[in-house]
Structure 1
Amino acid sequence: MTALALPAYAQLSDADEAALADLYRRGTPANTLRAWERDLAYIAAWKMASFGQPLAWPEDEKVALRFILDHAQDLSDKTGPAQDVAMELIAIGLRMALTCPAPATLDRRIASWQAFHRMRNLPSPFSAPLVQQTRQKARRANARPRMPKSPKPITRDILEALLATCDASHRGIRDRAMLMLAFASGGRRRSEITALNVENIALNDFATKGLVWIRLLETKTTKKDQAPRLPMKGRAARALVHWLEVTKITDGPLFRPVSLSDRPLPRRLATDALRTILRYRLQLAGFPVDFATPHGLRAGFLTQAALDGAPLAAAMKLSLHRSAVQAQKYYADVEISENPVTNLLGD
C-alpha cells in the first residue's frame, strides 16, 4: 500500500525547521524530536481542517479549547464538524480511527504544541484557566486502566530461558551479550543499547574485579554532559567481554548485524533491532512472540529487584529513573505474596 503524501500545511515550514535546528535539535533526544514533528503535523492538519487556517503563534485559546473537546469524545456514532475533521485526518493517514484517543496521546500532542510555543518564547493557550480545567475534565472522563509498555516483565527466570537459546555462533554470542547487558545494567532502553560504541565500554577493572563500566552518552533522562557510568559484573560482564574477544571489535558500534554466514558486519544495528532479536528468542524459548517487548527487560529488572528485596533507591541508581513514583509502579506490581517482607521471620 502506497503511503499518502501529507499536504503542505501538515509539514514543518521552513521557519519551524529553522527554529528546531537552532533552539532544540542539538539538546533534545532524536526520539523526542521525531515525536514533536509528528505531533505538529497532526495539529497543523487538524487546525486547517477545523478552521481553514494555519497554526498561529501564539495560538488562540478558543483553538486550544476546541482541540481538547474534539479529542475528548468518541466520534464513531456522532455527526458534525468534529467527525468531518477526524475523517479528513484519517484520509491523509494522520489519525487511525474515530474512537476517542487515549488521554496520554492527547497529553503528548498538547505537550508538543506547548514546546513549540516555548521555543518561540510565547505564552501557551493551554495555560488559560478554562483550557486547563477542560483538559483535566477530559482526562478524567476518558481515563483508562494503566497499560504496561510490555505485556510481561522479563524477570530472571524468563531471561534464563531466552539465554538458553543462544548458541556459540556469533549471532548467539551477540544476542546473549545484548540481552544480559540490557537487563543487568539497569534495564536499558533499546535505543541506548544500539547506540553504544566500544569506546563507551571500560574494561580496566575486568581482569581484577570482573567489573565492566558502561558509559551512556545520552539517555531519555540524561544529556551528554551528564553521561552516567554504570557498572556491570558477573555473567553479564563475561558475556559482553566474550563478544568483544570472539569478534575482535576494537572500535565503532558495539553491537552489529551478523550476516547469514555468521560474520559480524561493520555497521550499527537498527534502533529497533532489539525488538526483532527478542521476538526471535522468545519464539525459540517456546513463548508467544508477543509475550514481551524490549521494555520488558527494563520492567523485568525493576520487578526482579523488588522480588529480591532490593531497595528502590538502589534499583533507581542503575535504571536512572528520575521519578521514584514512576519506578515504584514496578515494585507495586509485584504480587504481595511474593514480597520478601512477608517472610521476615523465616520458614
Structure 2
Amino acid sequence: MSLPVSPAHLSPADEAALAELYRRGTPANTIRAWERDLAYLSAWKLAAFGAPLAWPEAESVALRFILDHSVDLTLAPGPARDAAQTLVEAGLRRTLDCPAPATLDRRIASWRAFHRMKNLQSPFDAPLIAEARGRARRAAARPPAPKSARPITRPVLEAMLASCDNSHRGLRDRAALMLGWASGGRRRSEIVALNRDDLDLAEWAGKGLIRLRLLTTKTTGPGQAPRLPLKGRPARAVLHWLTLARIEAGPLFRPVSLSDRVLPRRLTAEGFRGIVRHRLELAGYPPDFASAHGLRAGFLTQAALDGAPLQAAMQLSLHRSAAQAQRYYADIEIADNPAADLLG
C-alpha cells in the first residue's frame, strides 16, 4: 500500500518525487510501521463506516476511532465490536481486547503524519479530540510491557557466547552478540545494517580500539551518525570474524549456509532474532527467555548493577530520554544496587 503523499496542488511528477523523498529520508522501520498502520486505518474505516479514508478526515471519525479503541470489545456487542471482528478475521488485529495505549498512540501519530504529508490539518488536533485521547489514555493505563521478557545481562551473554564454536556460524554469532551488547545495547536493525566500511580500524594498532559508525538509528540519521568505541574481547571477536569470513566490503554480518559457507547478502533483522533464540537454547535457557532487545536491556541493566553512571551508559546506548534509560536502573533489585555498599 503506497503512502498518501499527494497534496492536491502537486503535479503527478512532483507527487512521485515527494513520495520518493519520504522513502529515502525516513528510516525503513518507520516506513514499515506507516504502511501497517495505513492498512489498519483503511480497513477500520471501511468496516466501521463503509467508506474509504477521507483527506482531511472528519472529526467525528477521529472521535469514533478513539472511542472504539478505548474499551474491551469482548464485553461490548455492537457496531464497534463488529468492525473489530472484521479486522481480527483479516489478520490486522489480534483480539477484541482494548489495545495498549501505546498502540493507539502510534496509529494516531501515523494518521496525523499522513495528514501532514498531504499538507492538511489533522482532526486529532481539535481540542475535543485531543482531550478525549488524553482521557482514554488514562482510562486504559497499564504497566508498560518490556520489549524483552528479561534482560540479557553479562552472565546470560557469557553462557550464550560459550555455545559459539569456531565455525563461520559460531564466529559470526559471537561477533554479532558481543558487538551488539558492548557498543551500548544496539537494536537488531542497527546491527544488521552495519557495513564493513562502518568500522574504522585506524586506532586498532595503537589503542586496541575500533570506531563503530552508526549511519541510522532510531534517534539519529546519517547527518549525526555517532561513532562508538569497541574494544577488548568484542573488538577482537569482530576482527576474527572479518578475517576468517574474508569480508572486505559490503554487509558486516551475513547469513551462513548449512554447509557453513558465508553468503554475500545481508543478515536480516529476523535472522538476528533467530541467532538470539538459538544461542539462548544452546546456553540452556528457554528460547523465549529474552528477545533481541534483551541485549539493549541487558547492557543498561548490567551498567546499573556495576555502578556505571546513567549518563555514561546513555553515551553508548544513545537514549535521548534520561527517564527512559532510568527505567533499567530502577528495575534492578534494590539490594543489588552498588550504592547499598558505599560504607563497605
What residue number does 1:190 align with?
188
Alignment of 1:1-347 (within 5 A): 11-12=1-2, 18=16, 21-346=19-344
Counterparts of 2:4 and 2:148, CA distance in 1: 38
SS in 1 for 2:329: helix
2-structure distance, mates of 1:76, 1:184:
45
Q: Is the 8 A contact 1:201 1:215 kept in 2?
A: yes
* 2:212 partner SS: strand
Identical-pair percentage: 68
d(CA) in 2 for partners of 1:253, 1:24:
24
Pair 134,241 (structure 1): closer, same or farther in 2 beyond 3 Å: same
- Normalised to the residue count of structure 1, the TM-score between the two structures is 0.93
Deviation, 1:228, is 0.9
Secondary structure of the corresponding residue to residue 300 of structure 2: helix
Q: CA deviation at 1:208?
A: 1.5
Compute the TM-score of the two structures, normalised by the length of structure 2: 0.94
Q: Indicate if the aligned counterparts of 2:5 and 2:114 stay in contact, CA closer than 8 A.
A: no
User: Alpha-carbon deviation of 1:238?
Assistant: 0.7
Please tell me the residue identity of whatever aligns with 1:64: A
> Match for 2:133: what amino acid?
R
Question: SS where residue 277 of structure 1 aligns?
Answer: helix
Shift of 1:101: 1.1
C-alpha distance in structure 1 between counterparts of 2:111 and 2:336, whole Å: 43
Per-residue deviation, residues 135-167 of structure 1 (Å, max 9, x unmatched)? 111111111112110011011111111111111
Looking at structure 1, the residues matched to 284 and 157 of structure 2 have their Cα atoms a distance apart, in angstroms, of 12
Residues 180-233 of structure 1: per-residue CA shift (max 9 Å, x gap)? 000000100101111111111111111221101110111111111111101011
Q: Relative to structure 1, is the Cα distance of residues 287 and 304 closer, same or farther in structure 2, using a 3 angstrom cutoff?
A: same
Runs of 4 or more off by more than 3 Å in structure 1?
11-20
Q: Count the aligned residue pairs.
A: 336
Q: What per-residue deviation string (whole Å, max 9, x for no partner) do you get for residues 89-123 of structure 1?
A: 22322222211111111111000001111122221
| Secondary structure in structure 2 of the residue aligned to 1:272 | helix
Q: Secondary structure at the match of 1:76?
A: helix
1:210–1:233 contact (8 Å) kept in structure 2: yes
Q: SS where residue 199 of structure 1 aligns?
A: helix
Cα distance in 1, alignment partners of residues 174 and 3 from structure 2: 45
Spell out, residue by residue over 1:223-260, the C-alpha distance to the aligned partner (whole angstroms, 9 max, x if none). 11111101011111111111111122111111111122
The one-letter code sitting in structure 2 at the alignment partner of 1:216 is L
- 2: distance between equivalents of 1:122 and 1:282? 48
Q: How far apart are 1:24 and its partner, in Å?
A: 2.1
Asked whether the 8 Å contact 2:273–2:292 carries over to 1, the reply is yes
Displacement, 1:87? Answer: 1.8
Whole-angstrom CA distance in 1 between matches of 2:167 and 2:75:
56
User: Which region of structure 1 is more displaced relative to structure 2, 147-156 or 136-145?
Assistant: 136-145
The alignment partner of 1:97 has SS state of coil
Q: Does the Cα contact within 8 Å between 2:196 and 2:249 map onto a contact in 1? A: yes
Residue type at the aligned position of 1:266:
P
Paired residue secondary structure (2:143): coil
- Segments of 5+ residues of structure 1 without an aligned counterpart are 1-10
How far apart are residue 23 of structure 1 and its match?
Answer: 4.9
| Equivalent AA in structure 2 for residue 155 of structure 1 | T
The Cα of 1:13 is off from its aligned counterpart by 7.1
Cα distance between partner residues in 1 of 2:123 and 2:17: 20
Letter in 2 for 1:290: D
Whether the 8 Å contact between 1:214 and 1:231 is mirrored in structure 2 is yes
In structure 2, what residue type is equivalent to 1:49?
A: A
User: In 2, Cα distance between the equivalents of 1:49 and 1:257?
Assistant: 42
* Distance (Å, rounded) in 2 between the aligned partners of 1:50 and 1:314: 50
User: Residue 41 of structure 1 aligns to which amino acid in structure 2?
Assistant: A
Please tell me the residue identity of whatever aligns with 1:91.
E
